[in-house]
Amino acid sequence: MMTNIIETHSLTKGTGSQMRVNHLDLRVPEGCVYGFLGPNGAGKTTTLKLLLGLLRPTDGTITLLGQKMTDKNRLAILKHTGSLIESPSFYGHLTGLENLQIIAKLKKVPAGEITNVLQTVRLYEQKDKKVKQYSLGMKQRLGIAMALLGNPRLLILDEPTNGLDPAGIQEIREFIKNLPVLRQITVVVSSHLLSEMEQMADMVGIINHGTLIYQGSMAALEAQGESLEEVFLKLTGGGDSL
């Protein structure tokens, strides 16, 4: 039976009219690509920051990798996760390889892993080029390579296709789609691009105004003969465009 690599119970951030995340019960099965969807300001990034311990919840619990997260075990659990939240940061005057060497030292992972992640994100041939000469898509892939150092079991990506042209979006989409097989990893990816999620995700969660309004498999939607866009518009009343 497939286990959940992420479970939250009544996860909440904020109070009253300032409720940014409202009693979320997430269930993310191990080995899938989980698409976390919602309009800008819906609470996606706040939720991901809560999962990573970057924000403290007002209420509720988080279980990652089978362990309930506490102040005592948070760092130990997060050693098995990788993340790219908002825009990746680099040293533009250094090469892609040199940037990864710095992160490898900070994470205390063997330098031998660098070649592996460079090959995974298809940047090995550009590893000696200065990052300031990278395209936006290459920078996104380098950020994902940094997140993959340490061979995490869980990868959390916040809007990884933001700002990319159609070719860059397709490249990142195909890469993320194949990660569970290539790296035996679970991927949670937030986005406001419905069409991309339909082609990338195994499971989806839709959040609106901080509330989880749908969670289920893409296969279940297809069996109902509905598109992700139709479900989104029905659940939100069409009031929030993506």
Mean pLDDT of the chain: 89
Q: What is the pLDDT of residue 223?
A: 82
Q: Using CB atoms within 10 A of its CB, is residue 125 exposed (0-12), middle (13-18) or buried (19+)?
A: exposed
pLDDT digits (tens, 9 = 90+) for 121-163: 999 999 999 999 999 889 989 999 999 999 999 999 998 888 8
**Domains with residue ranges and CATH for the chain:** 30-57+70-80+153-236 (3.40.50.300), 90-151 (no CATH)
Q: pTM, whole model, 2 decimals?
A: 0.89
Mean pLDDT of 69-77: 92
Q: What is the pLDDT of residue 194?
A: 82
Q: What is the pLDDT of residue 236?
A: 66
In this structure, are residues 112 and 185 in contact, taking their beta carbons and an 8 Å threshold?
A: no
The band of 239, judged by pLDDT with boundaries at 50, 70 and 90, is very low
Give the residue from 3, 26, 41 showing the smallest Cα distance to 240.
Answer: 41
